[in-house]
Amino acid sequence: MAKALRILKSQKGDTLFFIFIIVFVILTLSAIIIEYFRLESLYQQVEYELQRGVNSAVEYAILDEYRRDDTAKMDTAIAEQELYYYFNQNMKLDQELNKYSDNRFVYQLKIRTFSAAESPPRLTIEGWIGTRSIFNFLTGEIRLPFTISSSNCRID
Using CA atoms, how far apart are residues 22 and 100, in angstroms rounded to an integer? Answer: 37
> What mean pLDDT comes out for the span 3-22?
72
Integer-rounded Cα radius of gyration of the chain: 25
> What mean pLDDT comes out for the span 82-95?
93
Print the domain residue range for 107. 15-149
**28 part of a folded domain:** yes
**3 part of a folded domain:** no
Determine what percent of the chain is predicted with pLDDT higher than 70.
Answer: 83
Q: Which of 3-17, 37-51, 121-135, 142-156 has the lowest mean pLDDT?
A: 3-17
Using CA atoms, how far apart are residues 28 and 22, in angstroms rounded to an integer? Answer: 10
Amino acid at 148: I
| pTM exceeding 0.85 | no
When divided into structural domains, the chain yields a total of: 1
**6 part of a folded domain:** no
**62 part of a folded domain:** yes
**9 part of a folded domain:** no
**156 part of a folded domain:** no
Amino acid at 5: L
**50 part of a folded domain:** yes
Using CA atoms, how far apart are residues 53 and 5, in angstroms rounded to an integer? Answer: 59
**2 part of a folded domain:** no
Residue 113 phi, psi dihedral angles, 5° rounding: -130, 145
Q: What is the pLDDT of residue 118?
A: 85
